[in-house]
Amino acid sequence: MKYLIVNGDDFGASHGINRGILEAHRDGILTSASLFVDRPGSTEAAALAHDTLSLGVGLHADLDGQRRNDVRGELRRQLKRFVELLGHPPTHMDSHHNVHRSPDVHPDFLAVADEHGLLVRDCSKVRYVPDFYGQSGGRTDVQNISAASLVHLLRTRIQDGLNELGCHPGYIDADLVSRYATERELELRTLCDPCVREAIRDAGISLVSFRDVPRILRDS
């Protein structure tokens, strides 16, 4: 059986990102999101998540700059803030720009995740698929986030077992500070394209979220 988590990063970054992630969940294939806890849209994102129980929400840890001086302390603070915002623990943990993979961060990141019994992106039985991304070599590559490209990815890259497809849907607004901007709206349109859902059905893929992972592993 092929299981697919479609996870939208940067939830809480801005109103436009929040709006895009909810639209991709409501009208598209997105099943999960990763929340920034200290950004302009974090409180709004938490409120939206409260009203959208079908959306799984994990922690999108921000460990840039000075935050990396005490990784464990900073992660524990962000996890506490997550619970304050949502009233429950995250479904999983990942990080902005995937810095948790860095050798100076990775051991501490895994240690804190283990303390809280949380899955970490690309460090569990969930296989991470990063191919759906609209830049290559720092330049926009719209073909890579087209509906045709995503359909091909679904047919060729999603394997038996658990998979996570990373994505970054959203709308551009004044609060968004990112080098990845116009690509977000293109991703959103692709994630909501009917041919993508049809490809998922034809490939026998079951859409799930991180909260389903323990049950799937137990049943298998």
Q: What integer pLDDT is reported at residue 110 of this predicted model?
A: 98
Q: What integer pLDDT is reported at residue 176 of this predicted model?
A: 83
Q: What integer pLDDT is reported at residue 121 of this predicted model?
A: 98
Q: What integer pLDDT is reported at residue 175 of this predicted model?
A: 77
Q: What integer pLDDT is reported at residue 67 of this predicted model?
A: 79
Token pair belonging to 31: 């099943």
Residue type, 6: V
Q: What integer pLDDT is reported at residue 152 of this predicted model?
A: 98
pLDDT along the chain (220 residues), means of 10: 98 97 98 97 98 97 88 97 98 96 95 98 97 92 96 97 98 86 96 98 98 95
Q: What integer pLDDT is reported at residue 74 of this predicted model?
A: 97
Question: What b/e readout covers 119-158, taking b as 16+ CB neighbours within 10 angstroms?
Answer: bbbebbebbbbeebebeeeeebeeebbbbebbbebbeeeb
Q: What integer pLDDT is reported at residue 220 of this predicted model?
A: 85
Q: What integer pLDDT is reported at residue 159 of this predicted model?
A: 97
Token pair belonging to 57: 């929400």
Q: What integer pLDDT is reported at residue 217 of this predicted model?
A: 95
Q: What integer pLDDT is reported at residue 65 of this predicted model?
A: 82
Q: What integer pLDDT is reported at residue 206 of this predicted model?
A: 98
Q: What integer pLDDT is reported at residue 138 of this predicted model?
A: 83
